Chains A and B, each alone.
Chain A
């Protein structure tokens, strides 16, 4: 009798402790929904389509990930600043939001392998004739607050001795483009993909893409809670399979109108 009871208790303890080790991967599968954060402020990676529904490369990745997990995708619309709080708060399981993988940030959140590589580029009105980065000297330049390209520009400006007077921060990428469109600033720095997309619209027909920020590739990863190593492992495999199974190329085609360039694929493979 006593033995039986001990066995039952032991089994219970074992069961509860098994339960306690359930990680985020188990949680998502059990819950049946993937809470996937995206930033709809960064076309064509994330934006609202004409029906005010989320769309973009990142949104498709969320859906692909949910499909791979066999769960429903719950797309959460975040601001840039929300990305980390939402993870810490457990509101999101992952954030697929073009997050640059700096070592400083990696102290706070866990990064996967890169899933995209951007180049930072200048966009300005055609009459500004910007040939090189040095031509920005006496122009009013803007960028989105707290982004890596803002940091890169400010570092460059300081190195050249330009000071901060000609620089304007915007709350978001969309605000920066609106500011450029209205003429608040002469040029803004953004990513090549975003600029290419904007240039295809009528609103930006008077603008042109300028030089790239020297010596800088913006490598971005999916982010998740730093402690969820097994979960990040799964995400890494997911990213590899996205390339191998052709989903990456499909999404690229859908939002950029061409096959994914070989150098992008190569740098994604190299960087992991």
Chain B
């Protein structure tokens, strides 16, 4: 007979590190892709007329009003049902990136709109083209203003990436869950997981608040 419960041992380090690595990978992918898409969508929304905005807005609204866990299950089942199955990493990355994009686009829109109209008019009157104004004035000023909020969204994405476990992606929480089943030692393992997230998130959130204070002055 094979033994069923075995206590946590140093041999499990590799297994846990795989989980840590996977959590980091999917978070980075979602933040990078979500930021780029969010920047484009945010800019488009700041620039476009009301009708386009309403259309854009309602799609983004769905992403923000349905729990991530449901989006993940639905998307991963749906792509399979139409004959394009995806592995958990790919499906998870797509959903998490779009979810991030929905929040990032609001952040960036706010940033771009915060650049005052008179500054743009001044730039144009100096003979800059539209795209020069965008490149030299609106992007640098708008992006700088959004840094603290960007940090906030990025941090919540790292934490939300734990949910990708429900579609079978072996990130940190799912590996630890399986270790808990094997060892029946939930407390030690859960505390370890908590510390990991805290170590990543705490310094970043403080840096974000520091930036916020610095910019407010």
Contacts and interface: CB of A to CB of B under 8 A. Distances in A.
Direct A–B contact present (CB less than 8 angstroms): yes
Interface of A: 40-41, 43-44, 47-52, 55, 76-79, 81-82, 85-86, 88-91, 172, 174-175, 178, 181-182, 197-198, 200-203, 254-255, 257
30 contacts: A40-B178, A44-B4, A47-B182, A48-B181, A49-B2, A50-B6, A50-B182, A52-B179, A78-B168, A81-B73, A82-B167, A82-B168, A85-B73, A86-B80, A88-B77, A88-B81, A89-B77, A89-B80, A89-B81, A90-B85, A91-B80, A91-B87, A174-B181, A182-B186, A197-B4, A201-B3, A203-B5, A254-B2, A255-B1, A257-B1
Given A88-B81, A89-B79, A91-B85, A200 B184 contact: no
Interface string B45-84: 0000000000000000000000000000100110111010
**Consensus secondary structure, chain B interface:** helix
Given A52-B178, A79-B168, A181 B1 contact: no
Contacts of A85: 73, 76-77, 80
Contacts of B11: 51
Contacts of B180: 174, 178
B188 interface: no
A271 B72 CA distance: 38
Contacts of A79: 166, 168
A47 B180 CA distance: 12
Contacts of B86: 89
**Consensus secondary structure, chain A interface:** mixed
Contacts of A254: 2
Contacts of A41: 181
A198 B5 CA distance: 9
Interface of B: 1-6, 11-12, 15, 73, 76-77, 79-81, 83, 85-87, 166-168, 178-182, 184, 186
Contact of A77 (B5, B79, B83, B168): B168
Given A82-B167, A89-B76, A48 B2 contact: no
Contacts of B6: 50
A178 B181 contact: yes
A55 B1 CA distance: 12
A146 B8 CA distance: 30
A201 B5 contact: yes
Contacts of B85: 89-91
A49 B4 CA distance: 7
A182 to B, nearest CB: 8
A157 to B, nearest CB: 27
Which residue, A40, A49, A79, A89, has most C-beta atoms of chain B within 10 A? A89
Nearest to A194: B4
Nearest to B79: A89
Contacts of A178: 180-181, 184, 186
A202 B184 CA distance: 12
A181 B184 contact: yes
Given A40-B178, A50-B182, 15 more contacts: A43-B4, A47-B181, A48-B178, A82-B167, A85-B73, A86-B80, A89-B77, A89-B79, A90-B85, A91-B80, A174-B180, A174-B181, A178-B181, A182-B186, A201-B4
A82 B168 CA distance: 8
Given A40-B178, A200-B1, A201-B4, A88 B80 contact: yes
